[in-house]
A = this chain, B = another copy of it.
Amino acid sequence: MKLEKITKEAKNNARRHYDDACATAHALDLVGERWALLVIRELMLGPRRFSDLRTNLPGISANVLTQRLEGLEAAGIVIRRKLPPPAAAQVYELTEWGYQSEPIFQSLGRWAARSPTHDPSLPFSAVSLMLSLRTMIDPARARGRDIRVGFRIGEETYAGRVSEGQIAIERAALDNVDLVFSGTAPAIARAIYAGQELSALESEGVLQIDGDRTLAKRFVSLFPLPPKAEIPGG
């Protein structure tokens, strides 16, 4: 039993890697496997349990999630903790270095937003929507604004604050916010990125806005999408 485990681990360590001193290639050795970056993304706004990760990563299978978490833990990117009683659940959390990978998501997201084949009508996790706000905010439009905004998505709430051209977001209770968007992540995304009328989404029943409507309109206008790339001969 023990021996089997050891050989298995040896196998994992000897897994495919690029023989390349380039730091980018090394990054791909660390997080280039399928699903790895998306697992990190889901942890980017704080610790999560195995099943949280599973439900927010449409399509990942349990064994692959296990493997990725083991690999990320071995690499020093993720750490697993047992929550103190009474919660007593096990959670996975990024290490400090793990959290520092956020610029990777921003550069990937900003670039891919220009893709001609990007389909924003697919499922959208709450975390990725929140992260996308950090990525896509237009500092020029946001400068001078100070808006406290809340989001209620399923069971979870996120609190954000626009200031100095940036937006800070964390998983937190909705105290002291000027504005709350409640709904599914895709619905909120339609309001912010597809530019759909807030009132239309509300009558559809997929979105609810509490607070100053004008402020809400101003808020969603802070997140313009870049123009699609023009593909020669495409």
Contacts and interface: CB of A to CB of B under 8 A. Distances in A.
Given A104-B104, A108-B28, A116 B22 contact: no
Interface residues of A, number: 65
B113 A79 contact: no
Interface string A87-130: 00000000111001101111111111111111111111100110
Number of copies of this kind of chain in the complex = 2
A30 interface: yes
Given A100-B114, A111-B100, A112-B27, A22 B124 contact: yes
Contact of A125 (B20, B41, B113, B119): B20
A96 B229 contact: yes
A108 B23 contact: yes
A128 B75 contact: no
A224 to B, nearest CB: 14
10 contacts: A18-B38, A21-B119, A21-B128, A22-B128, A23-B115, A24-B109, A26-B118, A27-B109, A75-B115, A75-B117
Interface of A: 16, 18-28, 30, 32, 34, 37-38, 41, 57-59, 75-76, 79, 95-97, 100-101, 103-125, 128-129, 131-132, 135, 186, 189, 229-234
3 tightest Cβ-Cβ pairs between the two chains A and B: A97-B229, A76-B231, A27-B112
